[in-house]
Structure 1
Amino acid sequence: MPAIWSFDAPAPGQALSPAAVSALLDCASAPPSAARLLRAIDTVVPVEYLSLVNFRRDTPELIEGSSRHPHEGHGRDVVAECFAIYRRSYWRADAVMRLADRVSQRPAREVAVLHCRADELPVAGWRNEIYKRERLTERFTLLHAPARGAVQAIHLYRDERQGLFRPDEIQRLLGLAPLLRQAHQAALNAEGVAADREAQVALSRQRLARLVPALSPREAEVVARIAHGLSADGIAAELDVAPSTVVTLRKRAYAKLAEAGLPADRLRLARWLG
């Protein structure tokens, strides 16, 4: 039988290495990334594959996958291939579906964990077409609800090279689970903030094009981002140009704004367009 745990705080006595803390902070500071999550987990317990899955209308949808050895697949996306088989034939038999339904009704701070070996899967085709074909030994799943009714899962897979999780590795993963949930939640929030800011920048850019047609498209891009708090380095990274180019575009844009009698400095632009 699969083992299931549910908790909302790290187990007492669990200490993370500086590398693990750094990797978790990296996960939390940017929109969700399967590769970043895999790197964070790998500092605690090695796993071969990680998949991020969303449950929409009780149906699993793959968000992104990552591999510890991406170049060994010879161009194959193993996570996507296996998920396609799972989604076509086996997801209804997965105990994770019942757990996801339970988690969807629980507070957002809870995390539920399910551990299942390949030989515990209830359907032979599922074992053969995915686990046996890819030499996977087991799956360790963390589920949480970022919002009521919305559930996301982080699936971790071991293969024959790594063998089964040892009891001490299971304990380390259980200790990591609430912290990983917090990092993933922060990443989801960062994604929402980034999407919201991009929408605001687009509206400001449209307003500038309408009110200050003398601005070039690139100058408008820079001014809109200045109004929403980005530094020259941040704007350079988003537009894929040198910071010196941003400074030049800013200088030209400010001259045109001043000539039109409009705000031509960061603070006034933030009040006008922000």
Structure 2
Amino acid sequence: MPGLTDLIEHLGTPAFPATLFRSTFDWAKASHLTAFAFEPRQKPRLIFAENTGTAPIARGVADQYCRDYWRHDLANRVPLDTGTADRSESWILHTQASEIVHSDYRRACYASVCLDHRVSLIDMKGNHTLRINIYRSKGDAFSDDDVQRIADRAGLLLALTRRHADYGLADRQNSFTRYRDRLAGVAPGLTRREREVCAAIILGLTSEGIALELGVGLNTVLTYKKRAYARLGISSQNELMRLVLN
């Protein structure tokens, strides 16, 4: 696969998703590329979301998918909660928007961003499932040769993404704890939830992403953020980062 050396070098770093997307675009011609981690009876965790163009459209759509629509995904035809500790299998699923029955899901995650075709790579190990989605726009369907080309590289794509997710999750958990504890020292007046929200903001999570991480509503996150900024006398993420990192 082209760019494999760069991909390995960037595993676990913020540069990996964009590097993987560039590499994938060279041979899959994807408009969007997303990856999620699934566990039984839990909302999926977004690993990355990349798209063509300069605006980060895919991230917003992926956050909305995790929050509102993941249960309606056709890839869930194989139940996520029936695995056993020693179960291990992978498969590929080719779908298009017209197959989606749930109209709000189809509109929010496909029609609103002009997507129509998707190839999903799914890897289940026990109760842990990794899913990579490769999207194309309407009028640009995947041919049988395209799907075979993706299938030929599926094992490598899944292995790289799983390792990246493992590295990134461990690093993020360590950083989250460090920033939260730092906030307790520099801003003891913040509540526990306010510290958690601020730590997540420093890590670059969107408000939607923070809501998913903490298991609370979006409006709750916005309230905690507003209160924390007021207590700290700041008005921006940059000011928050300077306060904590300095």
TM-fit CA distance, 1:183: 2.0
In the alignment, does 2:65 pair up with 1:82? Answer: no
Q: Contact 1:96/1:114 (CA < 8 Å) preserved in 2?
A: yes
In structure 1, the residue matched to 2:102 is: 123
Query: Are 2:129 and 1:151 equivalent residues in the alignment?
Result: yes
1:62 partnered with 2:46: yes
Match of 1:53 among 18, 21, 36: 36
SS in structure 1 of the partner of residue 104 of structure 2? helix
Q: Which amino acid aligns with 1:164?
A: A
Could you say what secondary structure the match of 2:108 adopts?
helix
User: More deviation in 119-128 or 105-114?
Assistant: 105-114
Q: Distance in 2 between matches of 1:141 and 1:106?
A: 23
Q: Which amino acid aligns with 1:61?
A: R
Q: Distance in 1 between matches of 2:46 and 2:137?
A: 20
Q: In the alignment, which of 175, 196, 200 is matched to residue 152 of structure 2? A: 175
Residue 85 to residue 189, structure 1, CA distance change in 2 (3 Å)? closer
Is the contact made by 1:52 and 1:62 (CA closer than 8 Å) also made in structure 2?
Answer: yes
CA distance in 1, matches of 2:57, 2:164: 24
SS of residue matched to 1:101? coil
Cα RMSD for the two superposed structures:
3.3
Equivalent residue in structure 1 for 2:25, among 38, 42, 45: 42
Provide the residue aligned with 1:95 in structure 2. Answer: 74
Q: Secondary structure at the match of 2:113?
A: coil
Contact 1:108 1:144 in 2 (8 A): no
Q: Whose RCO is larger (CA < 8 A, sep 6+)?
A: 1
Counterpart of 1:93 in structure 2: which amino acid? H
Query: TM-score, normalising length from structure 2?
Result: 0.58
The separation in 2 between residues aligned to 1:62 and 1:188, in whole angstroms, is 9
Indicate the percent of aligned positions where both proteins have the same amino acid.
21
Contact 1:135/1:159 (<8 A) preserved: yes
How far does residue 176 in structure 1 lie from its aligned partner after superposition?
Answer: 0.8
Structure 2 unaligned blocks of 5 or more: 179-246
Deviation at 1:116, TM superposition (A): 0.8
Distance 2:23 2:86 in 1: 25
Q: How many residues in Structure 1 have an aligned counterpart in Structure 2?
A: 174
Quick check: 1:104–1:148 contact (8 Å CA) kept in 2? yes
**Which residue number in structure 2 is paired with residue 136 of structure 1?**
115
Aligned-pair distance for 1:178?
Answer: 1.1
Preserved contact between residue 30 and residue 187 of structure 1 (Cα < 8 Å): yes
Distance 1:165 1:39 in 2: 18
How far the C-alpha of 1:193 sits from its partner, in A, is 7.8
1:136 positional shift: 0.4
Inter-CA distance 119–106: structure 2 relative to 1 (3 Å threshold): farther
